[in-house]
């Protein structure tokens, strides 16, 4: 069970396959068979979760990373809201070593509130994580077409199954 730590989030590194792309990071959780796509903001927050940096420090660094993308030089509070929103999402998909608990002032943030506060032009800065459940090997397997060699283990597309005499799908 994860323990709660308020100020020093740490990224989970084990059982993950990470692929960094220009504007996003793809993370495959081998243990849970889940794939996650972190947009640039969520990825920047996650990459700075080193167990030594507070959310406030992560927030202070965000504008430096987004100069070219037009992240407004919002007050520190707005940047901290972005960080806490990202940390909440990272908690939900188990990409942090320990659960972080947001202070009460940041506890009930939503993307909708964040977009209203930052303005529509800065919506690109809102952290977004998209996740899918990866299929198991059996779920991903395709059936065999008629006339293709089969066995009792291989599934034929035709419900009549494998022709035992010829070892081909019916």
| 134, 110 contact by CB (below 8 A) | no
What residue spans define the domains of the chain? 4-134, 136-170
pTM of the model: 0.67
| 118, 110 contact by CB (below 8 A) | no
* 57-90 pLDDT, tens digit each: 998 887 655 554 444 445 667 788 888 889 989 9
Residue whose entry in the numeric block shows the structure tokens 């908690």: 91
The CA-to-CA distance between both ends of the chain, in Å, stands at 51
Sequence-distant (6+) residues with CB within 8 A of 35 are 26, 27, 28, 29, 131, 132, 134
> Distances from the Cα of 140 to the Cαs of 35, 79, 145, 169, in angstroms?
15, 41, 16, 19
Would you say residue 97 has pLDDT above 90? yes
Please state the rounded mean pLDDT for residues 89-109.
Answer: 84
Would you say residue 40 has pLDDT above 80? yes
CATH for 4-134 (3.90.930.60, 3.40.50.10610, 3.40.50.300, 3.90.920.20): 3.90.930.60
Please state, as a whole number, how many other Cβ atoms lie within 10 Å of the Cβ of residue 16.
16
Q: Which of 140, 145, 136, 137 is nearest to 168 (CA)?
A: 145
- What is the maximum span of the chain, computed from C-alpha positions, in angstroms? 75
User: Which two three-digit tokens encode residue 41?
Assistant: 């903001």
Would you say residue 52 has pLDDT above 80? yes
* 115-143 pLDDT, tens digit each: 565 554 455 567 778 888 776 655 556 67
Residue whose entry in the numeric block shows the structure tokens 């065999």: 144
What is the C-alpha to C-alpha distance for residues 134 and 169, in angstroms, rounded to an integer? 28
């Amino acid at each position: 069970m994860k323990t709660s730590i308020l100020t020093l989030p740490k990224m989970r590194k084990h059982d993950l396959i990470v692929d960094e792309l220009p504007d996003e990071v793809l993370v495959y959780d081998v243990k849970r068979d889940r794939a996650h796509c972190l947009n640039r903001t969520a990825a920047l927050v996650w990459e700075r979760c080193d167990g030594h940096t507070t959310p406030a420090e992560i927030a202070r660094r965000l504008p430096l990373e987004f100069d070219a993308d037009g992240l407004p030089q919002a007050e520190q509070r707005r940047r901290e809201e972005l960080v806490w929103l990202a940390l909440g999402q990272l908690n939900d998909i188990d990409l942090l070593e320990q659960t972080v608990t947001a202070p009460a002032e940041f506890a009930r943030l939503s993307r909708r509130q964040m977009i209203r506060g930052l303005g529509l032009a800065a919506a690109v800065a809102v952290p977004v994580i998209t996740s899918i459940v990866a299929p198991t090997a059996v779920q991903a397997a395709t059936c065999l077409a008629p006339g293709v060699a089969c066995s009792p283990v291989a599934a034929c597309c035709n419900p009549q199954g494998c022709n035992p005499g010829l070892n081909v799908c019916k």
